[in-house]
Structure 1
Amino acid sequence: MSEQRIRNDIVKWGRSLFERGLTAGSSGNISVRLDDGFLMTPTNSCLGFLDAERLSRLDATGNHVSGDAPTKELSLHFAFYDQRPQARAVVHLHSTYATALSCLADVDPADAIPPITPYVVMRVGRVPVISYTRPGSADIRPLIESIAVDHAAALMQNHGPIVTGTSLEAAVFAMEELEETAKLVLLTRWMPVRLLNTEAIADLNQTFKLK
């Protein structure tokens, strides 16, 4: 796929996420790994109004080479790219339900999204909670690196979700699935929920091979 096509896809998916209320204002950021570097949404940009030609272009070592200055959340993205060679895109949003879960004190820090549907297992997997750090701080990097080999997604405490995928489309779809499942989890929070059992989860992992 050409770089121009990838630029256009970032604009397309950013607009789609924004228009559906999955991130607000200038929150959220998207990146895609190229063969010789990275494309990222610029700092303080609104995902609903991106300009393909002004996206931040970084070289393979992470140096900014063209376009507007990149998102301040570089550490989030590079932590996943460094540990997951199969990751081709990273999406971070402040979507309502997943962010709400990241603020709850009693969620399981090893897996904040219980296996309530097969699709969250297939597309997202287990979602650990990363301890709070200031937005934009490089302190988040080792925290994400510690879980990134085994997890394609995480919730950052009191901040929101971050998801990787083998393509931009896959990352967006996984983010959408995470948000919808977080909504289901909160809607059923005080109800007797039937979760998928270990055999069903193992079958899904073997069949769809998320990692």
Structure 2
Amino acid sequence: MTSIESVTLEVPDPTVANAFYTTAFGLGTQVGVRASEAPTTGFRGFALSLVVSQPSTVDSLVGTALDAGATVLKPVEKSFWGYGGVVRAPDGAIWKVAASSKKDTGPATRQVDEIVLLLGVADVAATKRFYVDRGLAAAKSFGRKYVEFAAPSGHVKLALYERSFAAKDAGVSPDGTGSHRIVLGSDAGNFTDPDGFTWEAASA
């Protein structure tokens, strides 16, 4: 089964970006950075979501991200689906931190249970077909609104939204041009999807 082993964010200064992500989220090898000056403006068409177990973990991760230089796009709050908020990293990447639980059920931790890459695409059904043809398995599908693909433990989960909904969920305008500034690493080889997102061999 094809899946995303890692994602690489293209940033102006990898040293600065690495320092931010180490301090903010303490992520391991699933998220990396590399230098790029590719032009980009506005919404880059994606958000990375950190799924955690309880509100105290959300508060801790968002708090360290803000202390390290992130800005708030959506303040942390309770909603009908759980508890969470959205921030923008200094390099421009959008991060959502969320828990389905609205109450803490144990001691505070900084454990990230799952990383989900949310892509905003022009045609969810067409992009779903594209990825299924390349070996990804759809785990959840809601017509042309949302698709979530299966992923082994320790891999980055991929989900598709219609672009305007993805932007609304992130708290930004859907307008944007230029490079996505993200590369998806997998065992599926090198290709570009219908919305211009680049995949590379994970070992590249």
What TM-score do the two structures reach when normalised by structure 2? 0.33
What TM-score do the two structures reach when normalised by structure 1? 0.33
Larger helix fraction of residues = 1
Greater length-normalized contact order (CA 8 Å, ≥ 6 residues apart)? 2
Larger strand fraction of residues = 2
